[in-house]
Amino acid sequence: MAAMTKGERDQLLSLIKRRERVMKADARERSAKLLAEFDAQSAKIHHWDDDAVWSEVKAKAQIVIDNAKVTIAARCAELGIPAEFAPDIGMYWSGRGHNAVADRRTELRRAAKSKIEAMEVEAIAKIERHSLEAQTALIAHGLESETAKAFLENMSALEALMPPVEMGPIQQLVDAKLAERRLRYLN
């Protein structure tokens, strides 16, 4: 690999940082679009006449309902029930299904928003990781002294800063807090 000049490295570093900012903004914009698309999807009302199959099914169901109304009316006449007090049967088309209930849409939106936020956080972490890797490679390419190269090699990794969580110490912590609460309750 041919050597880069300091000016070239500086220009590339500047470009990498600008790209990182733009990609993070793009991730936030994408999150907003995804949530808006979800809102539109959950608020969509599907009318029975939007689809040929639905129209056909509704027409067939209406015939059954109309026949049922005739049967109900005849039985009411036999029983002496006046028409204004007679039971009725009807057909109802729910164009939203469960999403017709505002609480359900709110619950779905909350879950979608949480998922989208997690996706955005993951995307931003990847963007920052790629940016860091590119910046590190550029800087490493320009390092000349062995001391600087050794320093770069010995920088701490995340795993060293955040070791795995062991079950034993967590259980001890929870048990200690539980014992403390019991003691306070007894006193």
- Reported as a single tens digit per residue, the pLDDT across 128-151 is 999 999 999 998 888 888 898 888
Does 26 fall in a domain? Answer: yes
Per-residue pLDDT band for 1 (boundaries 50, 70, 90) equals low
Tokens in use for 184?
């306070």
Q: Which domain holds residue 117?
A: 6-153
Residue 28 contacts by C-beta under 8 Å, 6 or more apart in sequence?
120
Does 90 fall in a domain? Answer: yes
Does 73 fall in a domain? Answer: yes
Does 166 fall in a domain? Answer: no
Map residue 177 onto helix, strand or coil: helix
Does 74 fall in a domain? Answer: yes
Distance CA 26, CA 4 (A): 30
Does 164 fall in a domain? Answer: no
| Of the candidates 34, 15, 21, the residue with the CA atom closest to the CA atom of residue 120 | 34
Does 177 fall in a domain? Answer: no
pTM over 0.85: no
- The pLDDT score that the predictor gives to residue 95 is 84
Does 181 fall in a domain? Answer: no
Distance CA 89, CA 72 (A): 9
Contact 67, 138 (CB under 8 A): no
pLDDT at 38 exceeding the cut of 90: yes
Contact 134, 16 (CB under 8 A): yes
Number of domains in the chain: 1
